[in-house]
Structure 1
Amino acid sequence: MSSDLEEQEDELLALHSIFDSEEFIRNESNNAGELRVSAELPPHFSVSLTEGETVRQYEISFLPHLLLTFTFPADYPSSSPPSFTLTCSWLTPTQLSALGSHLTDLYQATRGAVVLFSWVQFLREDVLRFLDIHTTLELPSDDHSSQASQNTALSLTKNNPGASESGSTDEQSWNSTDVEVSASASSGKLDTQGAAASMPVQETLTAGLSLTPSQTLLSQILIHDAEQRQKAFAFTVFDCSVCCVGWLGSDCVHLSECGHILCKGCLAEFCRIRITEGNVRGVTCPQANCTASPTPAQVKDLVGDELFSRYDRLLLMSTLDRMSDVTYCPQRACGSPVILEKSSTAAMCSVCNFAFCVICKKTYHGTNNCAPKASVAKRRILTDEQQGVVDLPQSREGMKVLMDDYTGGSKERKRLLLNRYGRKAMQVILPEYLSEDWVVIHSKNCPHCFCKIQKDGGCNMMTCTRCRRRFCWRCLTRLPEFGAGGHFEDGTCSLHTGYN
């Protein structure tokens, strides 16, 4: 008897040294414990669920563990096997029964020797082959499953009533198999006489929609697979293609669109520079000739809330700019996006109700033709972009940030920007475009000769420096040569308020 106790203690110590705390838990009070075993899956293994004519199939790398809860009788291993409970959420009662019988057969084949490690090896390496599961685990549909009426986890219990005084064992008693299917719809736990439950069954109730038991099991398997994939990724070392340094996956970002893996430091700096420049379309994978983009959640995690807010705003603007049926309200106080109608040159802002011509961006003037020419700098940018000469930011805000970065940067920074965008783009095209853009925003046309006028002070009664005619700056009304003040006395415009 003392020899059995020593072998039990040695076996428990060996299990403790081999498995981590998530795989093996020991009950110190009565030489018992539990082992969580993950079955090894072959490459390209998948799980499928058939619902009527619909087949849902997903490739996975991990299945929820099998839980082996055991207790050593006093005469183990010399005469009796361990009493055990085998629990699994993705096996049927018949499959669990077959596994339980095979575990007892393994003990019989090596009677007198410790057996738990052999059991774990079998459950990990050979359980799928033993159950004739090769490349696909087919989940039972709710129409044909024994679990159809309740969310269940499957549990197989093998009990050993104990040995006789002479130490012999009634083989028939512990060879008998008792399969228990324990309902767990309310708590998600198993009724296994103190044994720990397998992965809890998740009750998914979303907007009044309840998943069927088979759908819940499929969801549970997919969630477990995703969690284990992420855990395996976090503890694997990858070489960053930018800095060529090996990093743990927990310090890396995996771009699912292209599969490239980069360290967070390199990708974060790359994203910060592009967002600061306003080139949000350039927030892509840094690998050469790769156009894949990180997800918005990855960008937010890399650059923080403040820069991500700018990225989100500029990306929306860039997306709208690329839509041929979207323009912007020309009112400086509004600027809201407006959806165009293909059959009309008129548009109305839904925010400020301003009706304007989509061609000249002025108050709608009916069917009169107007075709404003693009500015010289703008045409030059468009031409050069079509020829692949420059890669300037798409928005005015991005161009202004880039110009400020160049004019206020160090010699080294200016050199880097010149190498990146070219001397012509930085010193000729960009300043011209921003100057013309500034004129458009901060000037108005004289209602008499249409000359560009900038107001830098004084009252709202303006005199054009070109034609010497008077007009109101606020509403651009032409004023008579004599009695012009009457417009401000009798109308809604004020003579001395505002410099807009």
Structure 2
Amino acid sequence: MNADEADQEDELLALQSILGSDEFFRKESKNAGEIRVSVELPADFSVALKEGETLRQYEISFLPPLQLTFDLPEDYPSLSPPSFTLTCSWLTQTQLSLLGAHLTDLFRASGGAVVLFIWVMFLKEDALRFLDILSLLELPSDEPRTPDPNPASPSEPNKDQLPPESETKDSLSRDDSFPREPDLSDPSLEADPMETVSEVPNASESDARMSDWTRDTPDPGEPRPTHLGLLTQLLVYDATQQQRRFASTVFDCGVCYTSRLGSDCVQLPGCGHVFCRACLTQFCKLQITEGNVRGVTCPQSACTAGPTPAQVKSLVGEELFSRYDRLLLQNTLDAMPDVVYCPRLSCGAAVIQETSGAAAVCSVCGFAFCVACRKTYHGREDCQGKKNRRTKEEQKQGERVDLPQTAEGIKALWDDYSSGSKQRKRLLEARYGREILRNSLEDCLSENWMETNSKYCPHCFCRIEKNQGCNIMTCSRCGQMFCWACLAKLSNHRSAHFQDGSCSLWEYDPYSYS
């Protein structure tokens, strides 16, 4: 083994130990291989595509790697540089040619030393700065481009020594033993069919290399992706790599304060807070089980962000997610002032109320009802007037007496009826009517109780009951804080309302029917 062969073997072994299997592949039959170089991006790096007057710009942290396919000649590194092919989906042919020329210059400046690792570090750390791409990568539009009659290239070999044109337009592919990511680095996804630069010393070496590598040429009849498609691919690649980085990073859970890998954690997109999967699962399951779907938010104090529906589904499972989805829809409909529900127990579908009148027609069962009293639609007649008229007609037919007109009298009558003996119940039913006692009387009690024991939220007008605690109330539907005494909306400085106003923080009178 001569000195060049020994240097080549040492260099390839060093690269194999420094770079991972997903970055370096060596072809064992000869001193050849492929290196994937991921360029380092500065902070706040963006990729942009301008189409007409529309500018699409996105911040990214990762770009697909450059592919450096190399073949070491026998007299490398003493005399000849490596023959190589440099391929990238997001750089133009001119930019690749400039990089290739600089790689050749680096070999000439090395004085006969091995340069593959120097090439890798240059492409990784300095390639963007060398191309004057500092913080923004501008993708060209999809307008037709005129080929450059004199493209820049790292060298100008004799045309007779170059492989056929079809062999230089696309990069070489590896055999299946080398793991690859076909989504972005494949030449078929390149923005331009000429975005490959090759350095070929002579035709015989190139032909030998071509016979050893499998061709991966796209179908000529298949249309190449547009630059908008390339932008999409770059964003997908960036999201995938960010997820991989998150999965391998250690985080402290914001609930149990245990250190865990990101693969065992969930990051909420709205706020960026990280929690371990076990804690967030238990938190979401508890909220959904109790019916508080508005409470499925970030567990961090004073944070209003929340998990995405896909995250909730992966945390709680299919069954609880169905309940979450249903309750969330119902909660949203309840907050809409023009939505009512069909009063039929067998239906209960949501109905949009017409603003022109008090009538609504269920689109599911076809029932027409009054939105005020939830009874069959009775025209323009007042709901209570119709009720009183029907009661008087029933009393006239059965010679029955009127119900008490006060809340105290109605409650006393209901207590007498519900706790009385069978003989007492028959007597009261004969006097007031069985249907009136069981339906009308119970309706009156429910309405009177709600009027006495609940108030409307000043934001969404949902009925709220207060049975203990201070006068600072929080609506379970919309989350609005308000004062129970005067129904004023409260901000984060809620204590000032009770210090400067007439409302008392702890004033509380228990409710009663009397």
Q: TM-score, normalised by structure 1?
A: 0.67
Equivalent residue, structure 2, for 1:271: 284
Cα distance change of structure 1 residues 7 and 374 upon mapping to structure 2, 3 Å threshold:
farther
Deviation at residue 254 of structure 1 after TM alignment: 1.1
Alignment of 1:64-463 (within 5 A): 64-143=64-143, 145=145, 191-194=170-173, 199-200=185-186, 201=188, 213-370=226-383, 374=447, 376-377=449-450, 379-380=453-454, 382-384=463-465, 388-389=472-473
1:374 Cα deviation from its structure 2 partner: 3.8
2:51 corresponding residue in structure 1: 51
Alignment partners' CA distance in 2, 1:255 and 1:179: 53
Give the CA deviation at 1:50: 1.1
Q: Is the 8 A contact 1:157 1:180 kept in 2?
A: no
Q: Deviations over 1:139-194 (max 9, x none)?
A: 111225459xxxxxxx99979xxxxxxxxxxxx859x998999699xxxxx73355
One-letter identity of the residue aligned with 1:94: T
Q: Distance in 2 between matches of 1:282 and 1:359?
A: 31
| Contact residue 46 and residue 135 of structure 2 kept, 8 A | yes
Structure 1 residue 202: deviation in Å?
A: 5.3
Matched residue of 2:239: which SS?
Answer: helix
State whether residues 33 and 71 of structure 1, in contact with CA within 8 Å, keep that contact through their aligned partners in structure 2. Answer: yes
Alpha carbons of structure 1 residues 54 and 180: separation in structure 2 relative to 1, 3 Å: farther
Q: Deviation of residue 369 (structure 1)?
A: 2.1
Q: Tell me the residue number matched to 2:411.
A: none
Q: Quick one: structure 1 residues 177 and 95, their matched pair in 2 at CA, closer, same or farther if it must change by over 3 Å?
A: farther
Question: 1:110 & 1:330 partners in 2: Cα distance?
Answer: 87
Give distance in 2, aligned partners of 1:35 and 1:91: 17
> What residue is the counterpart of 2:214 in the other structure?
none
**Counterpart amino acid of residue 285 in structure 1:** C
Whether the 8 Å contact between 1:93 and 1:179 is mirrored in structure 2 is: no
Aligned counterpart, 1:467: none
Distance in 1, matches of 2:153 and 2:65, equals 17
User: CA separation in 2, counterparts of 1:227 and 1:211?
Assistant: 23
CA RMSD between the two structures:
3.4
Q: Distance in 1 between matches of 2:39 and 2:163?
A: 21
Whole-angstrom distance in 2 between the partners of 1:136 and 1:179 = 35
Give distance in 2, aligned partners of 1:254 and 1:132.
35
| Residues 251, 263 of structure 1: 8 Å contact kept | yes
Structure 1 counterpart of 2:238, which letter? D
Does residue 29 of the first structure (1) align with residue 29 of the second (2)?
yes
CA distance in 2, matches of 1:242, 1:326: 38
- Residues 344 and 67 of structure 1: CA distance in aligned 2, closer, same or farther (over 3 Å): same
Q: Structure 1: how far apart are the matches of 2:287 and 2:161? A: 66
Query: What's the CA shift for 1:77?
Result: 1.3
Deviation at 1:131, TM superposition (A): 0.4
Distance (whole Å) between structure 2 residues aligned to residue 360 and residue 273 of structure 1? 36
Q: Which amino acid aligns with 1:26?
A: R
Distance, in Å, in 1 between the alignment partners of 2:35 and 2:24 is 5
Describe the shift of the 1:99–1:228 C-alpha distance in structure 2 as closer, same or farther (beyond 3 A): same
Q: Distance in 2 between matches of 1:181 and 1:247?
A: 53
Aligned residue for 1:47, secondary structure, equals: strand
Q: Which amino acid aligns with 1:317?
A: Q
Displacement of 1:370 in angstroms is 2.9
C-alpha separation in 1, matches of 2:75 and 2:250: 47
Q: Which residue in the other structure is 1:7 paired with?
A: 7
Please state how far the C-alpha of 1:249 moved relative to its aligned partner.
Answer: 1.2
Moved more, 119-128 or 360-369: 360-369
Look up the SS of the partner of 2:321 in the other structure: helix
Contact 2:189–2:224 under 8 Å retained in 1: no
Once the two structures are TM-superposed, the CA of residue 9 in structure 1 deviates from its matched residue by 1.3
Report the CA distance shift for 1:177/1:307 in structure 2 as closer, same or farther (over 3 A).
farther
Contact 2:87 2:171 in 1 (8 A): no
SS at 1:43 equivalent? coil
Partner amino acid, structure 1, of 2:233: Q
Q: 1:158 to 1:35 in 2, by over 3 A?
A: farther
Q: CA-to-partner distance for each residue in 1:393-432, whole Å, 9 max, x for gaps?
A: 89xxxxxxxxxxxxxxxxxxxxxxxxxxxxxxxxx99xx9
What is the CA distance between 1:56 and its match in structure 2?
1.0
| Alignment length (residue pairs) | 368
Deviation per CA, 1:287-324: give whole Å up to 9, x if none. Answer: 00111111110000001111111111111111111111
Whether the 8 Å CA contact 1:72–1:81 is kept in 2: the answer is yes
- For the structure 1 residues 374 and 115, does the alpha-carbon distance in structure 2 shift closer, same or farther, using more than 3 Å as the test? farther
| CA deviation vs aligned residue, 1:86-127 (integer Å, no higher than 9, x gap) | 001111111111111100100111132111110000001000
Q: Secondary structure at the match of 1:25?
A: strand
The Cα of 1:213 is off from its aligned counterpart by: 1.8
Unmatched runs of 5 consecutive residues or more in structure 1: 148-154, 160-171, 185-189, 204-209, 395-427, 433-500
Deviation at 1:229, TM superposition (A): 1.0
Distance 1:326 1:178, change over 3 A: farther
Structure 1 residues 11-48: Cα deviation after superposition (integer angstroms, max 9, x where no partner): 11111111111111111111111100111111111111
Residue identity matched to 1:191: D
Provide closer, same or farther for how the CA distance between residues 296 and 28 of structure 1 changes in structure 2, counting only shifts above 3 A.
same
State the shift of 1:80 in Å: 1.4
- Is the partner of 2:12 in helix, strand or coil? helix
Mark the runs of 5 or more structure 2 residues left unpaired by the alignment: 176-181, 191-222, 385-443, 456-462, 479-509
For residue 220 of structure 1, report the CA deviation from its aligned partner: 1.5
Give the deviation of 1:217 after TM superposition: 1.4
SS at match of 2:351: strand
The residue type equivalent to 1:42 in the other structure is P
Change (3 A) 1:105 1:243: same
- Relative to structure 1, is the Cα distance of residues 144 and 191 closer, same or farther in structure 2, using a 3 angstrom cutoff? closer
- Deviation track 1:215-234 (CA, whole Å, cap 9, x = no partner) reads 12111211111111111111
Show the counterpart of 2:178.
none
CA shift at 1:340, angstroms? Answer: 0.6
Give the 3 Å change call, closer, same or farther, for CA 306–202 of structure 1 in structure 2: farther
Task: Give the Cα–Cα distance (whole angstroms) in 1 for the partners of residues 330 and 166 of structure 2.
Answer: 56
